[in-house]
């Protein structure tokens, strides 16, 4: 987990300080995404990269506490942008869990795009199939805080709703080969049902080229390309609002969040 460092500064920026490696700066002045990126790179490091739910929670709490304008709190640019070219990339929903193509369990002929787009993954008797993320399936949550770590949720939900339920009540959707090969996971009741797991693919990239796989889309935006029907083709830049990410027209003007890297100097001991 990467946490966020915040300090209060003037000149139209709200910043907040916690014991961490990143310093986030909330800038109330409205700019387009490209203008915001340029400003952040000139004044700080870049537009904000978000690594996990703790980052989002702390960011929103401090924005509400330190920025008085309700309008400023409503929506702010962060550094996530959809790429118009290049291949889609597979990610695990659990922050910090890296996808390894050599540790996959695809069913023969998978992944495919027979119902294009099919950017989320189900587990079917130990094999993976990619499905449209708007299909409703039961799902498996992972909890790293309780003795019982894997929970079969027998409710049919879209992938995004399943992810939100897991994050709100447990830790996340089950993610990574270590979890999927865990003995506790493998003794779950066998079923022919399609069960959502935390694997998805998209073309969204962070402005600073971070490898962070963190996504927490609202239910309107949908996971990238899961349902482009009715969506403006210009909605290729991400904002944060009420703890969720949403896609927006990059030429729209919003407040934004920059970040700086906190330099941690090594402790030196001088002996006289």
Rounded to the nearest 5°, which phi and psi values hold at 237? Answer: -125, 150
Angle at 45 between CA 40 and CA 47, to 5 degrees: 50
- Same domain for 48 and 11? yes
Expressed as residue numbers, the domain containing 213 is 4-83+208-218+229-261
Whether residue 267 lies inside any domain: the answer is no
Q: Verify that 70 and 93 share a domain, yes or no.
A: no
Q: What's the pLDDT at 180?
A: 84
The residue ranking higher by pLDDT, 32 or 12, is 32
Asked if 153 and 196 sit in the same domain, the reply is yes
Higher local confidence (pLDDT), 193 or 70:
193
In the chain, what percentage of residues exceed pLDDT 70?
A: 78
Q: Is it the case that residue 15 has pLDDT exceeding 80?
A: no
Same domain assignment for residues 182 and 166: yes
- Residue 85 has a pLDDT of 84
Cβ neighbors of 265 (< 8 A, separation 6 or more) are: none
Residue at 266 is within a domain: no
Residue-wise pLDDT tens digits, 172-194: 999 998 898 888 887 666 677 89
Within a domain: residue 224?
Answer: no
- pLDDT confidence of residue 86: 80
Q: Which long-range contacts (CB under 8 A, 24 or more apart) does 223-229 make?
A: 223/119, 223/120, 223/133, 223/159, 223/160, 224/82, 224/119, 225/88, 225/117, 225/119, 226/117, 226/119, 226/120, 226/132, 226/133, 226/134, 226/159, 226/160, 227/132, 227/133, 227/134, 228/117
**So what's the pLDDT on residue 194?**
94
Higher pLDDT, 174 or 263: 174
Q: 177 and 214, same structural domain?
A: no
- Classify residue 130: in a domain, yes or no: yes
- Asked if residue 96 belongs to a domain, the reply is yes
| 195 DSSP 8-state letter | E
Q: Which two tokens stand for residue 108?
A: 């023969």
> Do 170 and 253 belong to one domain?
no
Is residue 73 within 8 A of residue 91, CB to CB? The reply is no
Residue 215: the pLDDT is 93
Which pLDDT score is estimated for 120?
A: 95
Q: Where is pLDDT greater, at 14 or 247? A: 247
Q: How far apart are CA 14 and CA 176, in angstroms?
A: 37
The reported pLDDT for the residue numbered 224 is 42
What 3-state class would DSSP assign to 132?
coil
Do residue 213 and residue 236 come from a single domain?
yes
Does the residue 272 lie in any domain? no
- Evaluate if residue 6 carries a pLDDT over 50: no
Whether 176 is covered by a domain: the verdict is: yes
pTM: 0.82
CA-based end-to-end distance of the chain: 39
Phi, psi of 183 (to 5 degrees): -60, -35
Of the pLDDT bands very low, low, confident and very high (cuts 50, 70, 90), residue 8 is very low
If asked whether residues 101 and 191 sit together in one domain, one would say: yes
Say if residue 167 is exposed, middle or buried (CB neighbours under 10 Å; 0-12, 13-18, 19+): middle
d(CA 256, CA 75): 8
Give pLDDT, residue 117: 85
Question: For residue 24, what pLDDT is reported?
Answer: 87
**pLDDT over 70 at 164, yes or no:** yes
Helix (H, G, I), strand (E, B) or coil at 258: strand
Question: Which range among 43-47, 57-61, 115-119 shows the weakest confidence by mean pLDDT?
Answer: 57-61
One domain, residues 93 and 78: no
- Same-domain pairing of 120 and 60: no
User: CA distances (Å), 31 to each of 36, 42, 75, 262, 263, in order?
Assistant: 6, 14, 12, 25, 28
Name the band, by pLDDT with cuts 50, 70 and 90, for residue 227. very low
* Domain of residue 74, CATH code: 3.10.100.10
pLDDT score at 189: 65
Does position 265 have pLDDT exceeding 50, yes or no? no
Query: What is the pLDDT averaged over residues 121-126?
Result: 92
Residue with tokens 């779950």: 188
In a domain, 60, yes or no: yes
Q: Where are the alpha helices (DSSP H) in the chain?
A: 33-43, 53-66, 70-74, 159-169, 177-180, 183-186
The Cα angle at residue 95 between residues 26 and 181, in degrees rounded to 5: 175
| pLDDT at residue 270 in the model | 44
Q: Do 118 and 213 sit in the same domain of this protein?
A: no
Considering its fold, how many domains does the chain have in total? 2
Q: What does the pLDDT read at residue 112? A: 87
Residues 213 and 189 reside in one and the same domain: no
What's the CA gap between 160 and 222, in Å, rounded? 7
Q: Is the pLDDT of residue 144 over 60?
A: yes
**What confidence score (pLDDT) does residue 3 get?**
42
């Amino acid at each position: 987990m990467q946490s966020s460092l915040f300090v209060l500064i003037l000149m139209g920026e709200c910043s907040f300080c916690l014991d961490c490696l990143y310093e986030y700066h909330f800038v109330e002045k409205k700019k387009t995404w490209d203008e915001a990126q340029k400003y952040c790179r000139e004044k700080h490091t870049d537009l904000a990269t978000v690594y996990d739910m703790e980052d989002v929670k702390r960011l929103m709490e401090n924005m509400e506490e330190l920025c008085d304008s309700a309008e400023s709190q409503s929506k702010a640019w962060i550094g996530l942008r959809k790429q118009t070219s290049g291949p889609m990339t597979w990610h695990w929903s659990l922050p910090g869990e890296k996808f390894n193509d050599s540790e996959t369990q695809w069913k023969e002929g998978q992944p495919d795009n027979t119902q294009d787009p099919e950017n989320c993954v189900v587990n079917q008797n130990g094999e993976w199939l990619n499905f449209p993320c708007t299909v409703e399936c039961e799902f498996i949550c992972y909890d790293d805080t309780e003795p019982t770590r894997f929970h079969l949720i027998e409710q049919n939900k879209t992938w995004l709703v399943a992810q939100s339920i897991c994050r709100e009540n447990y830790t996340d959707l089950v993610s990574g080969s270590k979890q999927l090969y865990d003995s506790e996971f493998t003794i779950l009741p066998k079923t022919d049902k399609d069960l959502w797991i935390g694997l998805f693919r998209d073309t969204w990239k962070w402005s600073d080229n971070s490898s962070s796989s963190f996504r927490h889309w609202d239910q309107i935006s949908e996971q990238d390309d899961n349902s482009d029907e009715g969506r403006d083709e210009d909605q290729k830049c991400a904002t944060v609002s009420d703890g969720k990410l949403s896609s927006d027209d990059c030429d729209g003007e919003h407040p934004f969040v920059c970040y700086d890297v906190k330099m941690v100097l090594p402790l030196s001991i001088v002996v006289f």
